[in-house]
Amino acid sequence: MLITGCTNINTNSLNVSSVIRSVLNQDNDLYNTYEIGYRFYKPRNFSLLYSEGNNFIYINNKNKYYLYVDILAYYNKVDNAYDFSDESYIRETFNINNKSGFINIIQKDSYFYVKIMYNYAIIEVKVKEEDIIDSVIYSSILLSSIRYNDTVISNLVHDNVIGSDEKNFELIGPEEKEETYLDYLENYEEYEQNDTIPDPDIIN
């Protein structure tokens, strides 16, 4: 049983497709993170590693989740197209609550690259096979929780803070050879000795 916020999912006998539909069909009004033009729910066991613009990197159980929120696509109501690779382990498109999305999972060696798009945002994470279901659940919870502020986004566009032209997602996801969590901790302690790693049990 995975419990995150008010979402309870029994992971026994669940496949990826049923997990996505189960989570996205729930009424998720939780939020604990505010950004310019939108808010969302960051799972309690996620710690923020990086944030710039609408790009974020979170870590959970040594897995890095790369999130990009495309407020311009939301403003223009553009569903970004995606070409699935022939190497896909799992690939599926869906439309839930009048919002289109997709999941694509590619296996490379002993890792699986999970990419999910929904609600004008996208998440990528590289995980071991035993973590696929959990990563899909966490990603689906976060993506389904995003709530956009039409007034703020409209003002951003009209003030030329963001462009009015359509553009593709800018997410730069996990590479095949990326630093480990221990590498991150060493760098963090070296350059940020006066700070502490965020407590994953504290909701911002």
Domain ranges of the chain: 2-191
Q: Answer with the residue of higher pLDDT: 182 or 103.
A: 103
Reported as a single tens digit per residue, the pLDDT across 144-187 is 999 999 999 999 888 877 754 434 444 555 665 444 434 444 44
Q: pLDDT-based confidence at 140, cuts 50/70/90?
A: very high
The arithmetic mean of pLDDT across residues 29-46, rounded, is 91
Q: Which residues pair with 26 in a beta bridge?
A: none
Q: Over pLDDT 90: what percentage of the chain?
A: 43
* Helix residue ranges per DSSP H, 89-191: 132-145, 150-158, 181-191
pTM: 0.74
